[in-house]
Amino acid sequence: MSDTRLQRSLRVTFLGMAANVLLAGGKLFAGIVGHSHALVADAFESFADIVGSIIVWRGIVVASKPADEDHPYGHGKAEPIAAAVISTLLLLAAAGIGLHALREVITPTPGPGPRPFTLLVLLGVLVVKEVLFRYVQCEGEAVQSAAVKSDAWHHRSDAVTSLAAAIGITISLVGGPRFAGADSVAAVVAAAVIAWNGWSLLRPALEELMDATPDPLLTEHIRVIASAVPGVDAIEKCFARKMGYHLFVDMHVHVDPLMTVERSHRLAHEVKDTVRAQLPHVHDVLIHIEPARPV
């Protein structure tokens, strides 16, 4: 990972951590004082975000380490591992929030409904979290970090829970005691949305850990670049796998059967250098030379 990419990734991660600490504390206090189950649930989701941001931070730092004797391909897998852990935390948070809120829907706890000021707190949180989501998501796309993008969706899930809680509290305030349970129903809906986001983020992280092809169009583009190098007869196989920000490519290159070993060796380097020059995120290209089949 380049220094610039590392700095950008860490900057957005620390920004998210600072925001989550402030918002989680404020929501928990307001939820307890304002008698809002949805706001308390939202606060705990923010505390999960803090843990997630710490995991992203460590994942980015580990992924930035250069290759060594024990990790010849580098430490890039730390990013999808961090993304998978964060996604799992989202699923666990959704399960905890959903079960607690569902119990309140089935057997409501006697007590006053949510107070009006909790709605203002949630609307403020919603605005802050949506702005954070857009900023962190943009940075995650720019640096191509699965961990940072997962952290962005933590902010979006927090915004969704805040929106659901705001709707539930509004219904409770407008409808009166008869609709006091709307606050808990909103928490159940928010939990479902969080669970969906968690699963949506977990799948690509697992695919990267399993070395799934990043994008078939990208592989085809690599084929086209390699085929255009003078002396290359054909590209038989071409595979790519993602390691953090970098791509590692394996390909079989067909050349003239009468080509000397020295010339085929130079040609392999030409293919590798050409691919890396046109696609800077390709870290290495492993080439197997084969004799071209007669027509």
Residue 109: per-residue pLDDT: 63
Note whether 241 and 219 are within 8 A (CB): no
Alpha carbons 182 and 184: distance in angstroms, whole number: 5
For the chain, the first-to-last Cα distance in angstroms comes to: 45
Token representation of residue 84: 């998978």
pLDDT in tens, 224-248: 999 999 999 999 889 998 887 788 9
Query: Distances in Å between the alpha carbon of 205 and those of 65, 102, 160, 202, 217?
Result: 20, 30, 22, 5, 20
Q: 47-86 b/e with 16+ CB inside 10 Å = b?
A: bbbbbbbebbbbbbbbbbeeeeeeeeebbbbbbbbbbbbb
**Taking CA 241 as the corner, what is the angle to CA 236 and CA 243, rounded to the nearest 5 degrees?**
150
The helix/strand/coil state of 97 is helix
Question: What's domain 3-209's superfamily in CATH?
Answer: Cation efflux protein transmembrane domain (1.20.1510.10)
Is the pLDDT score of 110 beyond 70? no
Instruction: Tell me what the mean pLDDT of segment 2-13 comes to.
Output: 73
Question: Which of the pair, 179 or 3, is modelled with greater confidence?
Answer: 179
Q: What are residue 173's phi and psi, to 5 degrees?
A: -70, -40
Domain boundaries, the chain: 3-209, 216-291
CATH fold of 216-291 reads Alpha-Beta Plaits (3.30.70)
* pTM score: 0.66
